Chain A
Amino acid sequence: MSTAAAPAPRSPRTPAGSPVTFGRVLRSEWIKTHTVPSTVILLAVSFAVMVGLGALVAWGLVSLATDEESGPPQGIGQSLQSAAYDVPAAGLPFGQLLIAALAVVLIASEYTTGMIRSTMVAVPTRTPALLAKTLVTAAISFLLGVVAAFTTYFLAQPILSGADLEFGLDAKGVLPSIINTGTVLALIAIMGVGIGALLRNTAGGVVTLVGGLFVLPIIAGLLTGLADWVEDAARFLPSSAASALVATEVQPDQFNQVEGGLILAGWAVVLLAAALIALKKRDI
């Protein structure tokens, strides 16, 4: 390798840059996010899986409605239509799984690779760096959710029309459900960044968050019979709150969309706040 002959003769008093601002830190985090191939791949996979799953659900509904042997089950026509309204958000569980992993990886990999030292030397007040990363991750996740849900909606209509189940965007609760698919993913992403920053470990962070999202509800389901409070408490789990948030119709005994959103946001805020406090107190 060749080396340059001399240090650049720059005047020490002519700064190469300008003061750190949150906007600049955001830009830095955005560059970091899209210049690692795994981020782009994971996002593409999430999109494909969410849309694919939505289309599959639509197709399942159609085959249920047009069952030649028995015909559509009596009195179920109305609920089939309601179920069709939920198709755009049908891929959400897989979206949650992948976005949870992505968000944890984006922050925890900084610790495992040593990149965090470069980050925190550039932004020594620390807080803006984590907030910017959280914001970038949440924004990407929101967009992924909304775009995937819209794509699923448009892809599902020709399929659903096979059983006269197609519907307009103005159908009851459909548009909020599509937008809230993005909201859920954004909030899950914030939880992921929080957990990743707290644990500083990719595998540990992913297991913790996925466990919280998918295993806790199963455990709660198993324990429901033991005590009444278990069922009450289970409604506050992130998974239940996420379901309430994207529901096109408020289920009996469940929170409505706003309540679900607030509960999920509460989880996100608590985890992010804990991560920010730990970030300020710990050595990098």
Chain B
Amino acid sequence: MIEARELSKLFGGKTAVDGITFSVQPGKVTGFLGPNGAGKSTTMRLIVGLDIPTAGTVSVNGKPYARHRMPLGEVGALLEAKAAHPRRTAYNHLRAMAATEGIPDSRVREVIELTGLGPVARKRVGGFSLGMGQRLGLAAALLGDPQTLILDEPVNGLDPEGVKWVRYLVKGLAAEGRTVFISSHLMSEMALTADHLIVIGRGRILADAPIERVLTGGQQERVLVRTDDADGLAAAVAAAGVDIRREAADELRITGLSARSIAEAALSRGILITGLIPQQETLEDAYLELTGGEVEYQSRPVNDQALPAGEGQST
């Protein structure tokens, strides 16, 4: 379990993390979602003590990370793909890390096989692709067979198969009762992987809830209605808490009423409805709504091809 209390980090007067309080529970995958520059990586670096908090505290399984006698056995962290000397081989990099806790070479070979690094284990890290670098980072994170995993954008640069594998891996680790904290700026990836979601924007927690509640939480139903008598229908459904917007001469966007209630209202007034389309709130929409203006810039993710089919249908 990871617990942050009023955790803040300033870099030269610029606030990266702004007094956040949250906890990450064992036994499930907790997604840490936010646009680039929202404070995800800084938060994760604070957890493992690479950055020193300006204020507040963060603990892993009851203690600050640095106080654990077996740090690698407590927490496996993938923080940045580039955390190895380029002239050293993957195998030697892992051996050097393993040596700090006397982790045997057999375990080093095990994580190499587990992460699919076998064919390149004796090659220098400098020649690795981004994807292989990620696999090396994951191998290092798994070395100590830790109770808690902190993975910063683990699917970055992985091929579709690798993305699927990471998803499967983290779910399996969570099912074994481990704490899994995984960051991403990809809503779609979180939708498929995470059980719980913490959304961060400009260093503040915007949402902290089970993923289905982030999806629907605070969102009202929205229905696109086509009718020959738009004015009549608008009058029929008008009520407090119902927002009606005219999209076209024969089209209304009604928020705050279910499709059924609208149909019933139309039926009682004898208004013909030619189209009644519930607007599905996608996770992506919910995310954009939450982060709102806090998105510094938006671009399609590098592993676009890995986006699952069926995501993003908004009509």
Residues of chain A at the chain B interface (Cβ within 8 Å) = 1-4, 6-8, 10, 12, 14-20, 24-25, 27-29, 31-32, 35-38, 109-110, 113-115, 117-118, 120-126, 281-284
Note all chain A residues with C-beta closer than 8 A to B177.
12
The 9 A-B residue pairs with the shortest CB-CB distance, nearest first, are A17-B101, A124-B66, A17-B103, A28-B99, A19-B69, A35-B92, A16-B145, A3-B116, A114-B82
Do the beta carbons of A4 and B114 come within 8 Å of each other?
yes
- Selected A-B contacts with CB under 8 Å, 30 pairs: A1-B119, A1-B159, A1-B161, A4-B113, A4-B115, A7-B142, A8-B114, A12-B147, A15-B73, A16-B144, A17-B101, A17-B103, A18-B70, A20-B100, A24-B101, A25-B99, A28-B97, A31-B92, A35-B92, A35-B95, A36-B88, A110-B85, A114-B82, A114-B83, A118-B83, A118-B84, A118-B93, A121-B50, A122-B71, A282-B52
A38 nearest in chain B by CB position: B87
Q: Which residues of B contact A114 (CB under 8 A)?
A: 80, 82-84
Complex: A216 Cα to B95 Cα, angstroms: 41
Contacts of B239 in A (CB 8 A): none
With A31-B95, A35-B89 known, 17 other A-B pairs at CB within 8 A are A4-B113, A6-B168, A6-B172, A8-B110, A8-B114, A14-B145, A15-B70, A16-B101, A24-B99, A35-B95, A37-B87, A114-B80, A117-B80, A121-B50, A122-B72, A122-B97, A124-B49
A19's contact among B101, B143, B172, by CB below 8 Å, is which? B101
For B165, what are the chain A residues with a Cβ–Cβ distance below 8 Å?
A: 3
A16–B143 touching, CB < 8 Å = yes
Query: Could you tell me if A117 and B79 are in contact, using CB atoms closer than 8 angstroms?
Result: yes
Measured between alpha carbons, how far is A281 from B103 in the docked complex, in Å? 29
Given contacts A117-B79, A117-B80, A122-B71, contact A20 B101 (CB under 8 A): yes
Given A3-B165, A7-B169, A35-B89, A12 and B145 contact (CB-CB distance below 8 Å): yes
| Interface 0/1 of B184-211, CB less than 8 Å to A | 0000000000000000000000000000
Report yes or no: B85 in contact with A113, Cβ–Cβ below 8 A. Answer: yes
A35 and B96 within 8 A (CB): yes
Residues of B within 8 A of A115 (CB): 83-85, 88
| CA A114 to CA B51, docked complex, whole Å | 14
Contact B70 A284 (CB under 8 A): no
Instruction: Give A233 to B162 CA distance when docked, in angstroms.
Output: 63
Contact B119 A15 (CB under 8 A): no
Q: Please give me the residue from chain A that is nearest to B48 by CB atom.
A: A121
Interfacial chain B residues near A283, Cβ < 8 Å: 45, 50-52
Report how far A149 CA is from B176 CA in the complex, Å.
Answer: 59
B144 is contacted by which of A15, A125, A281 (Cβ under 8 Å)? A15
Q: Which residues of chain B have C-beta atoms less than 8 A from A27's C-beta? A: 99
Taking a contact as CB atoms under 8 Å apart, the answer to whether A122 and B101 are in contact is yes
Which of chain A's residues has its CB closest to B91's CB? A35
Contact partners of B50 in chain A: CB under 8 A: 117, 120-121, 283-284
Chain B positions within 8 Å of A, measured between CB atoms, are 45, 48-52, 65-66, 68-73, 77, 79-80, 82-89, 92-93, 95-104, 107, 110, 113-116, 119, 131-132, 135, 140, 142-145, 147, 159, 161-162, 165, 168-169, 172-173, 176-178
B173 touches A7 (CB 8 A): yes
Report the nearest A residue to B111, measured CB to CB: A8
Please determine whether B79 and A113 come into contact, CB atoms closer than 8 angstroms.
Answer: no
A16 and B73 within 8 A (CB)? yes
Min CB distance, B284 to chain A, in Å? 27
A123 pairs with B71, CB closer than 8 A? yes
Return chain A residues, CB-CB under 8 Å to B49.
Answer: 120, 124
A120 CB contacts on chain B under 8 angstroms: 49-50
Which residues of chain B have C-beta atoms less than 8 A from A15's C-beta? 70, 73, 144-145
Chain A residues with Cβ under 8 A from B66's Cβ?
A: 124-126
Complex alpha-carbon distance, A115 and B80, angstroms: 10
Q: Report the separation of the CA atoms of residues A20 and B224 in the bound assembly, to the nearest whole angstrom.
A: 62
Residue in B87, B93, B102, B135 whose CB lies within 8 Å of A17: B102
- Contact, CB under 8 Å: A7 / B172: yes
What's the nearest-Cβ distance from chain A to residue B135, in Å? 8
Taking CB as reference atom, which chain A residue is nearest B70? A19
Contact of A2 with B101 in the complex, beta carbons under 8 Å: no
Least Cβ distance of A50 to chain B in Å? 25
A20 contact set on B, CB distance < 8 A: 69-71, 100-101
* Minimum C-beta distance from A196 to chain B (A): 14
Residues of B within 8 A of A18 (CB): 70, 101-102
By a CB distance below 8 angstroms, the chain A residues around B162 are: 1, 3
Q: What is the bound-complex CA distance between A17 and B132, given in angstroms? A: 25
